[in-house]
Each structure stands twice: as C-alpha cells, then as structure tokens.
Amino acid sequence: MTTLIFVYNAKSGLKNLAIDIAHKLFSPKTYACSLCALTFDTFRENTIWKDFRKRTALNIEFLHSDEFEKRFNDKTYNYPIILSQNKTTLSTFLSSTKIEALTSVEELILTIESNSCDMLR
C-alpha cells in the first residue's frame, strides 16, 4: 500500500516547538513551514485538518525534517514536502512550491483528494 509522508519544514523536540510557536505568534508571515501553517493553528492542530485526517482512507505519516533525514538518510528535498512511498520508492506527491502556493487547509485537502484517487484503488 502507498503511504503519503508529510515532511514539515520544522525540527522535532520541545525546544523547537517553543521556537515555532513564538515565530507563529510574533511573525507568522515569515514562518518557514507553509504546511505547518495550513495544518496547525498556533497551539493545536487545525480542526478541519484533524477531521480530514480521521476520515481519510489514505495511509499517512507525519515527520519533521530531522526525523525524515535520519530515517531515510536523505537530505535532497526542499521542505515542506509530501512524498508518496510504495515499498521502497519515494516520489514527490506535492512539492514545497505547490504547498506554498496553497491558501487554505481546504485547498490542501482538495489537492490531496484529487491527486490520490489512484492510491485508494
């Protein structure tokens, strides 16, 4: 089965979480992770996104950039990115450029749903 791997342009850990929250509060327009901005409010997961995650039949996984690089030993991607993984192959499902062009979580969900039809068959 194919898995969508969402890789955030953010590092893992409590210290990094605190830095990210402060950045979102004080300078949200310059926050480096457009995927984070779409799927999370300042302090918690966006409700619309959370509902989508719970109802989707897609196999999805979420990683911070450092977690992804450690697990896959790969530092060649621009983050954020959504990758498609089937068995041993990783391919770009939604590039950082396309994610950055999205203006709402609803648009992200529609894009995922319209591009993942074949994955559910």
pLDDT in tens, the chain (121 residues): 789 999 998 887 777 666 666 556 566 666 567 787 788 776 788 899 999 999 999 999 999 999 999 999 888 899 999 999 988 889 999 999 999 999 999 999 999 999 887 665 5
Output the pLDDT for position 121: 52
Q: pTM for this structure?
A: 0.83
Q: Are strands 3-8 and 59-64 parallel, antiparallel or unpaired?
A: parallel
What Å distances lie between residue 62 and 4, 6, 66, CA to CA? 9, 5, 12
